[in-house]
Amino acid sequence: MTIQLIKSTFVPCIHMVSNPILSTLAQLISLHEGIAEADGEQVLNVLLTQNIAKALDLPEEISFTTRVDIPESHFVTYHSALLNKFSELLADRGAVAEIGVKYHGYLKTTGFEKILQQNIAPQNGLIRFLDAKPETTRYLWCNVAYTAEADERRIGMVSLVINELTGVTPIDIGDALFWEADRIEVNDSLESTAISFEDLSSLIEQTSAKLIKNELENWSAKLTRTLTRDSERLHAYYGTIATEIATKIQYKGLVDEEKEKELARIEATQRELERKLADIKERYALSVDAFLHSAMVIHLPTVHINCELVRKKAKRIVTAVWNPFTKVVEPLRCEVSGQPVYEFYLDDKIAKIISSNSWHK
Protein backbone atom coordinates (compact mmCIF):
# COMPACT_ATOMS: atom_id res chain seq x y z
CA MET A 1 0.00 0.00 0.00
CA THR A 2 1.21 3.50 -0.74
CA ILE A 3 0.09 6.95 0.31
CA GLN A 4 0.18 9.76 -2.21
CA LEU A 5 0.30 13.05 -0.32
CA ILE A 6 -2.53 15.12 -1.75
CA LYS A 7 -4.59 17.68 0.16
CA SER A 8 -8.23 16.65 0.33
CA THR A 9 -11.50 17.60 2.01
CA PHE A 10 -12.07 14.02 3.14
CA VAL A 11 -14.04 13.74 6.38
CA PRO A 12 -14.52 10.33 8.03
CA CYS A 13 -17.99 8.88 8.36
CA ILE A 14 -19.29 9.15 11.93
CA HIS A 15 -22.75 7.60 11.65
CA MET A 16 -22.27 3.88 12.28
CA VAL A 17 -24.32 1.44 10.18
CA SER A 18 -24.46 -2.23 11.12
CA ASN A 19 -25.73 -3.62 7.80
CA PRO A 20 -22.57 -4.52 5.81
CA ILE A 21 -23.91 -3.36 2.42
CA LEU A 22 -25.26 -0.07 3.76
CA SER A 23 -22.13 0.40 5.87
CA THR A 24 -20.01 0.15 2.72
CA LEU A 25 -22.24 2.68 0.95
CA ALA A 26 -22.13 5.06 3.94
CA GLN A 27 -18.33 5.05 3.97
CA LEU A 28 -18.06 5.50 0.21
CA ILE A 29 -20.55 8.37 0.24
CA SER A 30 -18.78 10.06 3.15
CA LEU A 31 -15.47 9.82 1.32
CA HIS A 32 -17.02 11.70 -1.60
CA GLU A 33 -18.26 14.53 0.63
CA GLY A 34 -21.82 13.25 0.86
CA ILE A 35 -23.93 12.73 3.97
CA ALA A 36 -25.27 9.32 4.96
CA GLU A 37 -27.38 8.47 7.99
CA ALA A 38 -29.04 5.21 8.95
CA ASP A 39 -32.81 5.00 9.37
CA GLY A 40 -33.14 1.67 11.12
CA GLU A 41 -31.20 -1.44 10.21
CA GLN A 42 -32.04 -1.61 6.50
CA VAL A 43 -32.43 1.96 5.26
CA LEU A 44 -29.75 4.57 4.57
CA ASN A 45 -30.79 8.16 3.85
CA VAL A 46 -28.24 9.92 1.66
CA LEU A 47 -27.43 13.40 0.39
CA LEU A 48 -25.00 13.24 -2.53
CA THR A 49 -22.93 16.05 -3.98
CA GLN A 50 -24.06 17.19 -7.40
CA ASN A 51 -21.10 15.72 -9.29
CA ILE A 52 -21.31 12.33 -7.56
CA ALA A 53 -25.08 12.16 -8.10
CA LYS A 54 -24.48 12.83 -11.79
CA ALA A 55 -21.74 10.20 -12.00
CA LEU A 56 -24.02 7.61 -10.37
CA ASP A 57 -27.09 8.75 -12.34
CA LEU A 58 -29.05 9.26 -9.11
CA PRO A 59 -30.93 12.15 -7.49
CA GLU A 60 -28.97 14.11 -4.89
CA GLU A 61 -31.38 13.04 -2.13
CA ILE A 62 -32.10 9.33 -2.04
CA SER A 63 -32.67 6.42 0.33
CA PHE A 64 -30.99 3.05 -0.10
CA THR A 65 -32.40 -0.16 1.32
CA THR A 66 -31.58 -3.85 1.45
CA ARG A 67 -35.28 -4.76 1.49
CA VAL A 68 -37.22 -4.90 -1.75
CA ASP A 69 -40.57 -4.02 -0.11
CA ILE A 70 -39.67 -0.54 1.19
CA PRO A 71 -41.28 2.14 -1.03
CA GLU A 72 -39.49 5.22 -2.38
CA SER A 73 -36.10 3.61 -1.79
CA HIS A 74 -33.35 2.32 -4.05
CA PHE A 75 -32.90 -1.43 -3.47
CA VAL A 76 -29.24 -2.52 -3.32
CA THR A 77 -27.44 -5.85 -3.10
CA TYR A 78 -23.84 -6.94 -3.59
CA HIS A 79 -24.75 -7.51 -7.24
CA SER A 80 -26.08 -3.98 -7.77
CA ALA A 81 -24.63 -1.92 -10.59
CA LEU A 82 -24.45 0.92 -8.05
CA LEU A 83 -21.62 -0.78 -6.16
CA ASN A 84 -19.75 -1.29 -9.42
CA LYS A 85 -20.07 2.44 -10.15
CA PHE A 86 -18.72 3.24 -6.69
CA SER A 87 -15.92 0.79 -7.34
CA GLU A 88 -14.94 2.89 -10.35
CA LEU A 89 -15.00 6.04 -8.21
CA LEU A 90 -12.65 4.34 -5.74
CA ALA A 91 -9.98 4.38 -8.42
CA ASP A 92 -9.35 7.98 -7.35
CA ARG A 93 -7.16 6.96 -4.45
CA GLY A 94 -4.40 8.38 -2.33
CA ALA A 95 -6.00 11.52 -0.85
CA VAL A 96 -4.64 12.73 2.49
CA ALA A 97 -6.31 15.44 4.55
CA GLU A 98 -5.13 17.06 7.75
CA ILE A 99 -7.09 18.69 10.58
CA GLY A 100 -6.68 19.73 14.18
CA VAL A 101 -9.23 19.46 16.97
CA LYS A 102 -9.84 21.93 19.79
CA TYR A 103 -10.35 20.67 23.33
CA HIS A 104 -12.58 22.85 25.49
CA GLY A 105 -11.10 22.04 28.83
CA TYR A 106 -7.98 22.06 30.94
CA LEU A 107 -5.42 19.34 30.34
CA LYS A 108 -4.27 18.41 33.82
CA THR A 109 -0.76 17.13 34.42
CA THR A 110 -1.21 15.69 37.91
CA GLY A 111 -2.55 12.36 39.13
CA PHE A 112 -1.08 10.40 36.26
CA GLU A 113 1.31 8.36 38.40
CA LYS A 114 -1.65 6.54 39.95
CA ILE A 115 -3.48 6.27 36.61
CA LEU A 116 -0.36 4.82 35.01
CA GLN A 117 0.11 2.20 37.72
CA GLN A 118 -3.57 1.20 37.52
CA ASN A 119 -3.58 0.70 33.76
CA ILE A 120 -0.15 -0.34 32.48
CA ALA A 121 1.41 -3.37 34.13
CA PRO A 122 4.69 -5.07 33.18
CA GLN A 123 4.40 -8.67 34.38
CA ASN A 124 8.12 -9.18 35.00
CA GLY A 125 9.43 -5.68 35.58
CA LEU A 126 8.66 -2.20 36.83
CA ILE A 127 7.17 0.96 35.40
CA ARG A 128 8.16 4.31 36.90
CA PHE A 129 6.34 7.57 36.33
CA LEU A 130 8.62 10.41 35.24
CA ASP A 131 6.43 13.33 34.18
CA ALA A 132 3.29 14.31 32.29
CA LYS A 133 2.78 17.28 29.99
CA PRO A 134 0.23 18.47 27.42
CA GLU A 135 1.31 17.64 23.87
CA THR A 136 -0.31 17.35 20.47
CA THR A 137 -0.48 13.78 19.20
CA ARG A 138 -0.97 12.92 15.56
CA TYR A 139 -3.39 10.13 14.69
CA LEU A 140 -3.75 8.66 11.23
CA TRP A 141 -7.29 7.71 10.21
CA CYS A 142 -6.98 5.29 7.27
CA ASN A 143 -9.64 4.04 4.88
CA VAL A 144 -8.71 0.80 3.13
CA ALA A 145 -10.90 -0.20 0.19
CA TYR A 146 -11.11 -3.81 -0.90
CA THR A 147 -12.61 -6.03 -3.57
CA ALA A 148 -13.42 -9.62 -2.62
CA GLU A 149 -14.22 -12.26 -5.22
CA ALA A 150 -15.36 -15.87 -5.08
CA ASP A 151 -18.69 -17.04 -6.49
CA GLU A 152 -19.63 -13.34 -6.53
CA ARG A 153 -17.89 -9.97 -6.25
CA ARG A 154 -18.15 -7.60 -3.31
CA ILE A 155 -16.56 -4.26 -2.56
CA GLY A 156 -16.10 -2.76 0.86
CA MET A 157 -14.04 -0.50 3.04
CA VAL A 158 -12.58 -0.71 6.53
CA SER A 159 -11.31 2.16 8.66
CA LEU A 160 -8.65 2.20 11.33
CA VAL A 161 -6.89 4.78 13.47
CA ILE A 162 -3.17 4.67 14.26
CA ASN A 163 -1.49 6.62 17.04
CA GLU A 164 1.52 7.85 15.11
CA LEU A 165 3.62 8.33 18.25
CA THR A 166 3.13 4.88 19.81
CA GLY A 167 2.19 2.92 16.69
CA VAL A 168 -0.85 1.49 18.49
CA THR A 169 -3.69 0.43 16.20
CA PRO A 170 -6.60 0.08 16.09
CA ILE A 171 -7.18 2.85 18.60
CA ASP A 172 -10.32 4.68 19.71
CA ILE A 173 -10.28 8.49 19.63
CA GLY A 174 -13.72 8.83 21.17
CA ASP A 175 -15.86 11.77 20.07
CA ALA A 176 -12.94 13.91 18.94
CA LEU A 177 -14.45 14.38 15.47
CA PHE A 178 -18.08 14.64 16.54
CA TRP A 179 -18.36 18.44 16.49
CA GLU A 180 -17.37 19.98 13.18
CA ALA A 181 -17.06 23.40 14.87
CA ASP A 182 -14.09 22.06 16.86
CA ARG A 183 -12.10 21.17 13.76
CA ILE A 184 -9.33 23.59 12.88
CA GLU A 185 -6.84 23.89 10.06
CA VAL A 186 -3.24 22.94 10.72
CA ASN A 187 -0.08 23.67 8.82
CA ASP A 188 2.19 20.73 9.39
CA SER A 189 4.40 18.66 7.13
CA LEU A 190 2.83 15.40 6.05
CA GLU A 191 6.25 14.20 4.97
CA SER A 192 7.61 13.71 8.50
CA THR A 193 6.21 10.97 10.70
CA ALA A 194 7.14 9.66 14.13
CA ILE A 195 7.45 6.14 12.74
CA SER A 196 9.07 5.11 9.49
CA PHE A 197 7.02 4.90 6.33
CA GLU A 198 7.81 1.17 6.07
CA ASP A 199 6.54 0.51 9.61
CA LEU A 200 3.47 2.65 8.98
CA SER A 201 2.67 0.77 5.79
CA SER A 202 3.11 -2.54 7.59
CA LEU A 203 0.76 -1.43 10.40
CA ILE A 204 -1.92 -0.43 7.90
CA GLU A 205 -1.62 -3.68 5.96
CA GLN A 206 -1.65 -5.98 8.99
CA THR A 207 -4.50 -4.23 10.80
CA SER A 208 -6.68 -3.76 7.73
CA ALA A 209 -6.17 -7.43 6.81
CA LYS A 210 -7.60 -8.44 10.20
CA LEU A 211 -10.54 -6.04 9.86
CA ILE A 212 -11.32 -7.22 6.33
CA LYS A 213 -11.12 -10.85 7.46
CA ASN A 214 -13.63 -10.08 10.21
CA GLU A 215 -15.98 -8.37 7.74
CA LEU A 216 -15.84 -11.34 5.37
CA GLU A 217 -16.02 -14.00 8.08
CA ASN A 218 -19.68 -14.93 7.49
CA TRP A 219 -19.25 -15.07 3.73
CA SER A 220 -16.06 -17.10 4.06
CA ALA A 221 -17.82 -19.58 6.37
CA LYS A 222 -20.70 -19.84 3.89
CA LEU A 223 -18.25 -20.55 1.06
CA THR A 224 -16.59 -23.27 3.15
CA ARG A 225 -19.96 -24.89 3.89
CA THR A 226 -20.97 -24.72 0.23
CA LEU A 227 -17.65 -26.21 -0.87
CA THR A 228 -18.03 -29.06 1.63
CA ARG A 229 -21.62 -29.72 0.51
CA ASP A 230 -20.78 -29.73 -3.21
CA SER A 231 -17.69 -31.85 -2.60
CA GLU A 232 -19.73 -34.45 -0.73
CA ARG A 233 -22.33 -34.50 -3.51
CA LEU A 234 -19.66 -35.01 -6.17
CA HIS A 235 -18.00 -37.79 -4.19
CA ALA A 236 -21.37 -39.47 -3.74
CA TYR A 237 -22.35 -39.10 -7.41
CA TYR A 238 -19.11 -40.30 -8.96
CA GLY A 239 -18.64 -42.87 -6.20
CA THR A 240 -21.99 -44.38 -7.15
CA ILE A 241 -20.95 -44.57 -10.80
CA ALA A 242 -17.66 -46.27 -9.91
CA THR A 243 -19.45 -48.72 -7.61
CA GLU A 244 -21.97 -49.62 -10.31
CA ILE A 245 -19.16 -50.30 -12.79
CA ALA A 246 -17.31 -52.46 -10.24
CA THR A 247 -20.53 -54.35 -9.49
CA LYS A 248 -21.05 -54.92 -13.21
CA ILE A 249 -17.54 -56.39 -13.55
CA GLN A 250 -18.16 -58.76 -10.66
CA TYR A 251 -21.75 -59.67 -11.58
CA LYS A 252 -20.95 -60.47 -15.21
CA GLY A 253 -17.59 -61.98 -14.40
CA LEU A 254 -15.84 -59.82 -16.97
CA VAL A 255 -12.26 -60.69 -17.83
CA ASP A 256 -9.48 -59.63 -20.15
CA GLU A 257 -10.38 -56.89 -22.62
CA GLU A 258 -13.93 -56.35 -21.37
CA LYS A 259 -12.72 -56.01 -17.79
CA GLU A 260 -9.95 -53.61 -18.81
CA LYS A 261 -12.51 -51.50 -20.64
CA GLU A 262 -14.67 -51.16 -17.52
CA LEU A 263 -11.66 -50.48 -15.30
CA ALA A 264 -10.70 -47.68 -17.68
CA ARG A 265 -14.19 -46.25 -17.16
CA ILE A 266 -13.60 -46.26 -13.40
CA GLU A 267 -10.30 -44.41 -13.89
CA ALA A 268 -12.02 -41.89 -16.18
CA THR A 269 -14.72 -41.41 -13.55
CA GLN A 270 -12.06 -40.70 -10.93
CA ARG A 271 -10.34 -38.18 -13.21
CA GLU A 272 -13.65 -36.44 -13.86
CA LEU A 273 -14.29 -36.29 -10.11
CA GLU A 274 -10.89 -34.70 -9.53
CA ARG A 275 -11.55 -32.16 -12.29
CA LYS A 276 -14.94 -31.24 -10.84
CA LEU A 277 -13.45 -30.93 -7.34
CA ALA A 278 -10.75 -28.59 -8.67
CA ASP A 279 -13.44 -26.51 -10.40
CA ILE A 280 -15.53 -25.97 -7.27
CA LYS A 281 -12.43 -25.34 -5.17
CA GLU A 282 -11.48 -22.53 -7.54
CA ARG A 283 -15.06 -21.23 -7.67
CA TYR A 284 -15.37 -20.94 -3.90
CA ALA A 285 -11.82 -19.71 -3.22
CA LEU A 286 -12.01 -16.22 -1.71
CA SER A 287 -9.49 -13.72 -3.05
CA VAL A 288 -9.17 -10.17 -1.73
CA ASP A 289 -7.45 -7.16 -3.28
CA ALA A 290 -7.07 -4.12 -1.01
CA PHE A 291 -5.47 -0.69 -1.17
CA LEU A 292 -5.17 2.41 0.97
CA HIS A 293 -7.82 4.70 -0.46
CA SER A 294 -7.46 7.78 1.72
CA ALA A 295 -6.22 9.01 5.06
CA MET A 296 -6.63 11.86 7.49
CA VAL A 297 -3.95 13.14 9.83
CA ILE A 298 -5.71 14.24 13.02
CA HIS A 299 -3.93 16.48 15.52
CA LEU A 300 -5.38 15.92 18.98
CA PRO A 301 -4.52 17.69 22.24
CA THR A 302 -3.40 14.95 24.64
CA VAL A 303 -1.19 14.39 27.66
CA HIS A 304 2.11 12.57 27.16
CA ILE A 305 3.08 10.47 30.17
CA ASN A 306 6.78 9.75 30.17
CA CYS A 307 7.72 6.65 32.12
CA GLU A 308 10.62 4.29 32.57
CA LEU A 309 10.40 0.54 32.01
CA VAL A 310 12.84 -1.51 34.10
CA ARG A 311 13.76 -5.17 33.68
CA LYS A 312 16.83 -6.26 35.68
CA LYS A 313 19.63 -4.01 34.32
CA ALA A 314 17.68 -3.00 31.23
CA LYS A 315 15.98 0.40 31.33
CA ARG A 316 14.21 2.49 28.72
CA ILE A 317 11.92 5.49 28.56
CA VAL A 318 8.59 5.22 26.75
CA THR A 319 5.65 7.57 26.34
CA ALA A 320 2.05 6.64 27.09
CA VAL A 321 -0.77 8.85 25.84
CA TRP A 322 -3.82 10.03 27.79
CA ASN A 323 -6.63 11.05 25.44
CA PRO A 324 -9.08 13.61 26.91
CA PHE A 325 -11.74 12.57 24.39
CA THR A 326 -11.81 9.00 25.73
CA LYS A 327 -10.58 9.79 29.27
CA VAL A 328 -8.25 6.78 29.23
CA VAL A 329 -4.56 6.03 28.99
CA GLU A 330 -4.02 4.33 25.66
CA PRO A 331 -2.27 0.95 25.54
CA LEU A 332 1.33 0.46 24.51
CA ARG A 333 2.32 -1.69 21.54
CA CYS A 334 3.84 -5.17 21.59
CA GLU A 335 7.11 -4.86 19.69
CA VAL A 336 6.84 -8.41 18.38
CA SER A 337 3.23 -8.78 17.22
CA GLY A 338 2.11 -5.15 17.10
CA GLN A 339 -0.79 -5.98 19.43
CA PRO A 340 -2.06 -3.19 21.73
CA VAL A 341 -1.25 -4.20 25.33
CA TYR A 342 -1.81 -2.99 28.87
CA GLU A 343 -0.22 -6.07 30.43
CA PHE A 344 3.04 -7.32 28.94
CA TYR A 345 6.48 -8.76 29.53
CA LEU A 346 9.89 -7.10 29.15
CA ASP A 347 12.91 -8.80 27.63
CA ASP A 348 16.25 -8.79 29.47
CA LYS A 349 18.30 -6.90 26.86
CA ILE A 350 16.49 -3.63 26.16
CA ALA A 351 13.20 -4.01 28.07
CA LYS A 352 11.35 -4.65 24.82
CA ILE A 353 7.56 -4.76 25.25
CA ILE A 354 6.24 -8.25 24.48
CA SER A 355 2.61 -9.40 24.74
CA SER A 356 1.71 -12.57 26.64
CA ASN A 357 0.85 -14.28 23.33
CA SER A 358 4.36 -13.61 22.01
CA TRP A 359 6.23 -14.35 25.25
CA HIS A 360 7.97 -17.73 25.06
CA LYS A 361 9.90 -17.94 28.33
Q: Which pLDDT score is estimated for 91?
A: 58
Confidence of residue 22 (pLDDT cuts 50, 70, 90): confident
Percent of the chain whose predicted confidence (pLDDT) is above 70: 88
240-258 residue pLDDT tens: 999 999 999 998 888 889 9
Question: CA dist 289 to 26, 78, 150, 163, 277, Å?
Answer: 20, 16, 12, 25, 25
Which has the minimum average pLDDT: 9-18, 21-30, 100-109?
9-18
Domain ranges (residues) in the chain: 1-92, 101-186+287-361, 220-283
Pseudo-torsion of CA 334, 292, 5, 172, nearest 10°? -50
Q: Residue 90 — pLDDT band, cuts 50, 70, 90?
A: low
pLDDT of residue 18: 66
pLDDT tens, residue by residue, 211-234 = 999 989 999 999 999 999 999 999
Provide the phi-psi class of 86: left if phi over 0, else alpha when psi is between -120 and 50, else beta: alpha
Average pLDDT over residues 179-203: 73
User: Is the pTM above the cut of 0.75?
Assistant: no
